[in-house]
Each structure stands twice: as structure tokens, then as C-alpha cells.
Amino acid sequence: MLPTGVHFETYAGEARILKTRRATAWLGLLILGLVILPQAVGPYTVGVFTHMFITLMAVYGLYVTVGLGGQINIAQSAFVGVGAFATAKLSGYGLPFWAVIPMAALITGAVSVIFALPAAKVKGFYLALTTLAAQVMFPIVIFALPMDWLGGLVGMAVEPVRLGPITLGSPVHFYYFTLVLVGLLTVAAFNLPRTRFGRSLMAVRDNDVVAEVMGVPVFRTKVMAFFAGSLFAGVAGACTAYFLQFVTVESFTLFASVWYLGMLIVGGAASPVGAILGVVFITAVQEGLHSAATVMLQSGAAGGGMLFALTSIVLGGCILVALIFEPRGLAHRWSVIRTAFQLWPFPRN
């Protein structure tokens, strides 16, 4: 739905993602706010936003696999871990970050294809079990390999990001580094449904039998859904490795995969806006509860430790509420509100 009085005379104008000057202006203000944010907040908040950017990269991958392709994936954290360990290994050879990150993404995509091949033959519950096998096998494989390969139980150190003679070691520097990367991935996520591959994903998601009759290669499309989603996970894993400066399997658990999927459910799997809203909402609730618990503990009030323990329960409740009352996610609710605003002053009926 377009704002009242807005119309297009060409298909190119109608196909734009930002269809009005007002939308472009709001996006510009958002980017400006994110650029000047580190100058207005402390290091802790900068770290929270950096972690949120990295999480959004991983959830974008789930949007591609689950939202566009309709393929359930509860092993996204394992794929993020593959990207992180690949980054740690490649950075140890002295490769620059601009070579390491694409290579880590491709390695992650190649590993995902191993599990996508059997997963493309099944649906529903069996598909979930297939991806769960990838999550379970990830730490087993890391521990089974020789320690000098991927660190085993100990883990691996990661060389810091260097831009020429400059080392991006401060939280502010790494904030801008992840901001640029998440901006590039955001452009990719928003434009993917407009491509031939994106339309193939949506056709297979809606009805794979009809899609095959229409000439869409269903098996290849399902495999490529995992591959494309894992490319995003590989970039997120590379950023995680550079951010933590040390990687171990304990950072990439099934619990993290569930939260990635939960963020997409809360935000809405139908559009990349849902990934953004879900990550922002869950992060805001989590940090709000942690801040409240910290204040309670520092003031000596009772219940601070319990509030910390109840954080996961509250976040799980948010997912249940979203599934019951808004199964299409916050993105749908935002679309309803925006449509009502754009149609003003005319009634919606």
C-alpha cells in the first residue's frame, strides 16, 4: 500500500524498495543515527549493538533458508561456528580480513551442502531432525579432529582485524566494521526476493509440486537455500571470531540456534524487516531484564538473581505470545500500522 497521492508511471519506479522520498529520508536518518551512536553512548552499549549486528547477519541467513525457501533449519549456530573456526584458521595464515571473510562464508556454504543434500529429500519434522544432526555433529567433529587443526577442547585464537597499518582493536572500530558488513548483507537480503533465485525459493516454499511442473529445479533450489543462508552465517561467524578474538565450540550451541529461529519467529519470517525487528526486540528485552536485575543486585533488593534466571523464560514467553497472537510476526503488525498511516485521512474500508 502506497501513501495517499503517490503513484508511478514506470515499472522501475514501482519496483524500487524505497518508493518515496520520505522513506529515503527516514533511512538516511537511521544510518546517520547509527554512525554517530558510538559518540553518544558508552563502550557497553557499543558492544551490545555490535553483537546485535552480528546476530542479525545470522538471522538474515535463516530468513533466506526458512522465510524464503521454507526449509526448517535449527543448526544455524553450528554454521556460524563453522565460519568462526574457518576464520580462526585462515587468519592464522596471515590472510587479510577482506580475503578471510568471503572464504569463510564459502567454506560454511560448502559444509551446509553436505547436510542439505539429505535434507532436501524430506520435509517437516524429518527436516528438523536432519538439521539438528548438523548441530549435534559440530562439536563432535571439532573434538575428534587433531588439536593442531581446529584447537579441539581448547579452542583457537584469532588474529585481529587489520586495515593496513591500523588494527581494529577498539570497540568503536569494530562497531563500524560490523555496521558496514551488516549494511551490505541488508542490501542483499532485501534484494534477494527480487531475483530469479529468490522467486524460485518462494515458489518451492509455497508449493514444490507446482514449482516443479513450472520448470523450477526443486532439489537444486532446496540445496541452494541452505547454501545461500549459510553464506550469511559464515559472515556472522567471521565477525564473531574477530569480535571474541578466540573461538570455542561452547559459543555455538543448540541454545543459540533456537534463539536465532525464535528471533525470526517473533519478527516475522516473510520479510527481512521481520529479521530486523525480531533481533532488535529480543535484544532489547534481554538487555532490559539484565539491566533491571543488575540495578536490583547493586541496590540490595531481593529478586535480582531470580530475574537473571528468568530471562530465558521471559524470552521464551515472547516467542509463545508471538506464535499465538501474531503468527506473522512484528513485521506484519508494523505493516498494518504503516498502512493505516499512509492511507490517512481516508478510511481503511
User: Phi and psi (nearest 5°) for 348?
Assistant: -70, -25
Q: What is the average pLDDT across 292-310?
A: 71
Three-state SS at 116:
helix
pLDDT score recorded for residue 248: 92
Q: With a threshold of 0.85, does the pTM exceed it?
A: yes
Positive/negative CA dihedral, 20, 23, 25, 27 = negative
Q: How far apart are CA 98 and CA 273, in angstroms?
A: 27
pLDDT at 2 over 70: no
- DSSP β-ladder status, 156-157 and 246-247: antiparallel
Q: Is 152 buried (19+), middle (13-18) or exposed (0-12) by CB count in 10 A?
A: middle
pLDDT exceeds 90 at position 343: no
Residue 230 has pLDDT above 90, yes or no: yes
The pLDDT of residue 195 is above 70: yes
Whether 16 shows a pLDDT value over 80: the answer reads no
Question: Which pLDDT belongs to residue 292?
Answer: 79
Q: How far apart are CA 107 and CA 121, in angstroms?
A: 23
pLDDT in tens, 260-298: 999 999 999 888 999 999 999 999 988 888 787 777 777
| Alpha-carbon distances of 254 from 257, 318, 322, rounded to whole Å | 5, 19, 21
pLDDT of amino acid 117: 87
Q: Answer whether residue 242 shows pLDDT above 90.
A: yes
User: What confidence score (pLDDT) does residue 290 get?
Assistant: 78
Instruction: Flag whether pLDDT at 85 surpasses 90.
Output: yes
Mean pLDDT (whole number) for 235-246: 93
Is-contact 178 53, C-beta < 8 A?
A: yes
Q: What is the grid cell recorded at 21? A: 522520498
3 confidence band (pLDDT: 50, 70, 90): low
The pLDDT tens digits of the residues spanning 88-136 come to: 999 988 888 899 999 999 999 999 999 888 887 877 777 888 888 889 9
Comparing C-alpha atoms, which of 59, 10, 43, 93 is closest to residue 283?
59
Instruction: Give CA separation, 164 vs 63, 170, 174, in Å.
Output: 34, 16, 15
Instruction: For residue 271, give the DSSP letter.
Output: S
**What average pLDDT score do residues 209-234 get?**
92
246: enclosing H helix or E strand: strand 246-247
SS3 313: helix
**Can you tell me the distance from the alpha carbon of 166 to that of 162, in angstroms, rounded to the nearest whole number?**
6
Biggest CA-to-CA distance, the chain: 68
Give residue 124's pLDDT.
74
pLDDT at residue 183, as a whole number: 95
pLDDT at site 104: 95
The helix/strand/coil state of 51 is helix
Whether 9 shows a pLDDT value over 90: the answer reads no
Q: What percent of the chain has pLDDT over 70?
A: 93
pLDDT band at 347 (very low <50, low <70, confident <90, very high): low
Whether 247 and 156 have beta carbons less than 8 Å apart is answered as yes
pLDDT digits (tens, 9 = 90+) for 138-166: 999 999 888 888 888 888 988 888 877 77
Residue 310: predicted pLDDT: 78
pLDDT digit string (tens) for 20-59?
788 889 899 999 999 999 999 889 999 999 999 999 999 9
Regarding beta strands 162-163 and 246-247, do their DSSP bridges make them parallel or antiparallel, or are they unpaired?
unpaired
Closest of 251, 237, 250, 224 to residue 91, by C-alpha: 237
Of 207 and 6, the structure prediction assigns the larger pLDDT to 207
CA 222/CA 68 separation, integer angstroms: 10
Q: Give the closest residue to 58 by CA, choosing from 325, 187, 236, 208.
A: 236
